[in-house]
Amino acid sequence: MKEKQILSMIAFLMILPLLSGCWTLVAAGAGAYGGYKMKENGYTLQNPVTKEKSRKSSQ
């Protein structure tokens, strides 16, 4: 029984660093995609986040 617990703990400790790296990449990709879609809809990253107004020249 104790041997099974030790093996499962070793497996968990080996897998944990791999998962943390993957989740970091997933979160970065989701943030980049969200920023791209917001920029596509006319939003800019300012404080506060605002939508760009279309600039029409009155000639």
Identify the pLDDT of residue 13.
Answer: 82
Interval 21-56: pLDDT, tens: 777 888 889 989 988 888 888 877 666 666 667 666
Identify the pLDDT of residue 33.
Answer: 92
| Calpha distance 35→12 (Å, rounded) | 34
Interval 2-19: pLDDT, tens: 888 888 888 888 887 777
Identify the pLDDT of residue 24.
Answer: 81
CA angle centred on 37, ends 33 and 38, rounded to 5°:
115
Q: Is 0.85 topped by the overall pTM?
A: no
Q: 40 or 1: which carries more pLDDT confidence?
A: 40
